[in-house]
C-alpha cells in the first residue's frame, strides 16, 4: 500500500465508499483513506471556525477578557484541553457572574467512545485473534490498527464504528475458513478411525472402540469430548500394538515349527530312500548267492538297516508329536490373547449396558475435574442418585425390564443435563453425576429438574408404562476433600432422601 500515490489512494477510497454503501462524510472518507494507505491521519483542528468564534465571544468584564485571551492562545496552540476548560469557564460565568475563575469540569462528549468500553473492545479483539489462524495477514493487520486506535485517548465513535465494521466484515471470511478447516480435520480423523477398523477385521474390541471414537468425535465438540477421544485413541493404539506384536511373535514361532516339520519330513524321506536302496541291493545279493554262507552277511545288513529305519521312524514320530503339541499350545496362546482383548473391553471406561462411565472412567473423570476446578477456583458438585423401588421392578417385570430402566434413566439424563455434566454408573442401580462449575444450590435444582423430566417420560415394558423415580444426594467438593469423601457425603444425603419418602433431592 505504501508505494501507491495519493491520487490512487483517493480513487480507491471513493470506490470503497460506494462498494460498502457508506455515506460520503468527511469522517468516513478519512477512515477509509487511512485504512487503504496503511497510516493514520492526525485529527483535523478547526482553526478557522474557532477564530470566527473568538469574534463573538464576550470580553467586557475582566473575567471574560481573561477567558477570551485563554481561548485565543488555545486556538493558536491547537490545545483541545485548554479550549475545553475555557468553554466550561464561560458556562460557569453565566451561572455565577461573580466568579472570576473558570472551574475545571470533565466534559463527556457523546461523540467520544467511553474509555472502559474501548478497552473492553480491544481486549475482545485480542482474545479473538488466536481463533482466526495465521493465514489471513490482513485481518491481523486490521485488528492491530483497531486495537491501537481503541487504546488511544478519546477515540471518536464514528471512526471506531467504521473500522469495526470493516474488521468484522473481514473476520466473517476468516471464521468461515476456520470452520471449513475444522470440518476437514474431523473428516480426516474419521477416515483414520475407519482405516484402523478395516485393518483389524477380526478384533471385536478394537471395532467397539473405533465406533466409540467415531461417536465421540462427532460435533458439537467440547474439550471434555476431545479428552475422551484422546484417551480412547491411546487405548486403541496400545492394544493394537500389543496385539500386533504378540500375533507377529506367534506367527514367527509357527513358521519355525513349520520349518522344523518340513525338515523332519525330508529326513524321513531320505531315510526311506536309503533303506529302499539297501533293500534292493540286498535282494540282488541274495538272488546271486549260491550258499548259506553268502546269504548270512546280507541278512545281517538287512536287519541292521531295518533296525535303523525303525529307530529313525520312532524319533521322527516323537518329534512330530512334540511339534503338534507346540502348535496346539501356540493356538491356545493366540486364543487367550483374543480373550484378554475381550476382557479389556469390559475394563474400558464405559458401562456396556448404559453407555455411561464405569468406575474406572469415573475415577479418571473425577481426577481431571477436581484438578480443573481447583486450578480455576470454580465450584464442583457430585450427585449420587439411586433408582427408587428398583428391586420391585426386577421382581415384578424381570431383569430385562430392570436393564431397560437403567438405560432409560441414562438416556434421559444425557438429554436433560448439560454437555459438560458427566454420568457414571456407580454400581447396580446407583449413578454418579459430576457437575462442573456448579454450587450446591444449583446442583440440587438441576437434579430436581431431572426428576420432573423423568415423571413426564415413561418407558414401555410390554404394554405397561413404567415410571422411574430416584432419590439423590448432592455434595459440593470441599477445598481439601477427596472425591471418595464427597461421594460418601452425597451417599448419606441420598439415604436421608430415601428415608424422607423417596423421589427427593437433598444437599449434603
At 416-428, the pLDDT tens digits run 999 889 999 998 8
pLDDT on residue 108: 41
pLDDT on residue 348: 64
pLDDT on residue 191: 72
Task: Kindly report the backbone phi and psi dihedral angles of residue 506, in degrees, each rounded to the nearest multiple of 5, phi listed first.
Answer: -130, 140
How far is 130 from 143, CA to CA, in rounded Å?
12
> For residue 508, is pLDDT > 80?
yes
DSSP states of 301-350:
HHHHHHHHHHHHHHHHHHHHHHHHHHHHHHHHHHHHHHHHHHHHHHTSSB
pLDDT in tens, 292-304: 666 667 667 767 7
Give the three cell numbers for residue 350.
464405559
How far is 180 from 497, CA to CA, in rounded Å?
50
User: What pTM, to 2 d.p., does this model score?
Assistant: 0.41
Task: Kindly report the backbone phi and psi dihedral angles of residue 180, in degrees, each rounded to the nearest multiple of 5, phi listed first.
Answer: -65, -40
Between 282 and 493, name the one with better pLDDT: 493
How far is 369 from 50, CA to CA, in rounded Å?
65
CA dihedral 244, 249, 250, 252 (to 10 degrees): 120
How far is 439 from 377, CA to CA, in rounded Å?
12
pLDDT band at 42 (very low <50, low <70, confident <90, very high): low
pLDDT band at 22 (very low <50, low <70, confident <90, very high): confident
Residue intervals in the chain for CATH 3.30.70.270? 359-507
pLDDT band at 106 (very low <50, low <70, confident <90, very high): very low
pLDDT on residue 107: 39
Between β-strands 505-507 and 470-476, what pairing exists: parallel, antiparallel or unpaired? parallel
Mean pLDDT, residues 81-103 taken together? 62
Angle (nearest 5°) at CA 89 between 85 and 93: 175
> For residue 393, is pLDDT > 90?
no
Query: Edge to edge, what strands does the sheet with 430-436 contain?
Result: 422-427, 430-436, 380-387, 470-476, 505-507
Are 86 and 62 within 8 A, CB to CB? no
Give the three cell numbers for residue 409.
434413566
Count other C-beta atoms under 10 Å from residue 356's C-beta: 25
How far is 442 from 440, CA to CA, in rounded Å?
5
pLDDT on residue 449: 94
Grid look-up 540282488 returns 284
> For residue 1, is pLDDT > 50?
no
> Which H/E stretch holds residue 386?
strand 380-387
DSSP states of 447-491:
HHHHHHHHHT--EEETTEEE---EEEEEEEPPTT--HHHHHHHHH
> Which H/E stretch holds residue 434?
strand 430-436
pLDDT in tens, 225-247: 666 667 666 766 676 666 666 66
Kindly report the CATH number that applies to the domain delimited by 359-507: 3.30.70.270
Are 172 and 140 within 8 A, CB to CB? no
Amino acid at each position: 500500500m505504501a508505494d501507491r500515490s495519493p491520487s490512487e489512494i483517493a480513487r480507491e477510497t471513493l470506490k470503497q465508499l460506494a462498494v460498502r454503501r457508506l455515506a460520503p462524510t468527511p469522517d468516513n472518507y478519512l477512515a477509509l483513506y487511512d485504512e487503504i494507505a496503511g497510516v493514520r491521519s492526525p485529527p483535523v483542528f478547526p482553526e478557522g471556525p474557532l477564530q470566527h468564534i473568538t469574534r463573538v465571544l464576550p470580553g467586557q468584564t475582566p473575567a471574560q477578557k481573561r477567558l477570551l485571551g485563554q481561548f485565543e492562545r488555545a486556538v493558536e496552540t491547537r490545545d483541545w484541553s485548554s479550549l475545553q476548560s475555557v468553554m466550561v469557564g464561560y458556562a460557569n460565568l453565566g451561572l455565577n457572574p461573580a466568579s472570576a475563575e473558570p472551574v475545571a469540569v470533565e466534559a463527556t462528549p457523546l461523540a467520544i467512545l467511553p474509555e472502559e468500553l474501548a478497552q473492553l473492545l480491544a481486549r475482545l479483539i485480542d482474545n479473538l485473534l488466536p481463533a482466526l489462524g495465521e493465514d489471513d495477514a490482513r485481518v491481523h493487520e486490521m485488528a492491530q490498527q483497531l486495537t491501537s486506535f481503541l487504546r488511544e485517548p478519546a477515540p471518536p465513535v464514528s471512526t471506531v464504528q467504521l473500522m469495526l465494521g470493516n474488521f468484522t466484515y473481514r473476520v466473517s471470511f476468516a471464521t468461515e475458513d476456520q470452520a471449513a478447516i475444522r470440518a476437514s480435520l474431523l473428516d480426516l480423523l474419521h477416515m483414520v478411525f475407519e482405516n484402523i477398523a478395516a485393518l483389524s477385521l477380526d478384533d471385536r474390541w478394537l471395532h467397539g472402540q473405533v465406533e466409540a471414537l467415531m461417536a465421540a468425535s462427532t460435533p458439537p465438540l467440547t474439550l471434555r469430548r476431545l479428552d475422551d477421544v484422546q484417551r480412547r485413541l491411546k487405548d486403541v493404539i496400545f492394544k493394537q500394538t500389543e496385539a500386533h506384536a504378540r500375533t507377529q511373535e506367534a506367527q514367527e514361532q509357527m513358521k519355525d515349527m513349520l520349518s522344523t516339520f518340513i525338515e523332519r519330513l525330508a529326513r524321513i524321506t531320505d531315510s526311506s530312500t536309503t533303506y529302499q536302496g539297501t533293500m534292493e541291493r540286498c535282494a540282488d545279493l541274495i538272488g546271486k548267492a549260491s550258499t548259506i554262507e553268502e546269504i548270512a552277511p546280507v541278512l545281517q545288513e538287512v536287519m541292521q538297516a531295518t533296525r535303523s529305519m525303525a529307530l529313525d521312524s520312532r524319533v521322527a514320530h516323537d518329534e512330530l508329536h512334540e511339534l503338534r503339541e507346540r502348535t496346539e499350545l501356540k493356538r491356545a496362546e493366540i486364543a487367550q490373547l483374543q480373550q484378554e482383548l475381550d476382557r479389556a473391553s469390559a475394563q474400558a471406561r464405559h458401562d456396556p449396558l448404559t453407555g455411561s462411565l464405569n468406575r474406572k472412567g469415573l475415577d479418571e473423570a473425577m481426577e481431571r475435574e477436581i484438578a480443573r476446578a481447583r486450578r480455576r477456583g470454580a465450584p464442583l458438585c457430585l450427585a449420587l442418585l439411586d433408582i427408587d423401588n428398583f428391586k420391585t421392578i426386577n421382581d415384578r417385570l424381570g431383569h430385562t425390564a430392570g436393564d431397560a430402566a437403567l438405560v432409560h434413566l441414562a438416556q434421559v439424563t444425557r438429554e436433560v443435563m448439560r454437555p459438560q455434566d458427566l454420568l457414571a454408573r456407580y454400581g447396580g442401580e446407583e449413578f454418579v453425576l459430576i457437575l462442573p462449575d456448579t454450587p450446591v444450590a444449583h446442583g440440587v435444582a438441576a437434579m430436581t429438574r431431572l426428576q420432573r423430566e423423568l415423571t413426564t417420560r415413561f418407558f414401555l415394558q410390554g404394554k405397561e408404562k413404567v415410571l422411574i423415580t430416584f432419590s439423590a444426594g448432592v455434595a459440593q467438593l470441599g477445598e481439601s476433600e477427596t472425591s471418595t469423601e464427597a461421594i460418601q457425603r452425597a451417599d448419606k444425603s441420598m439415604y436421608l432422601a430415601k428415608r424422607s419418602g423417596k423421589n427427593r433431592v437433598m444437599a449434603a
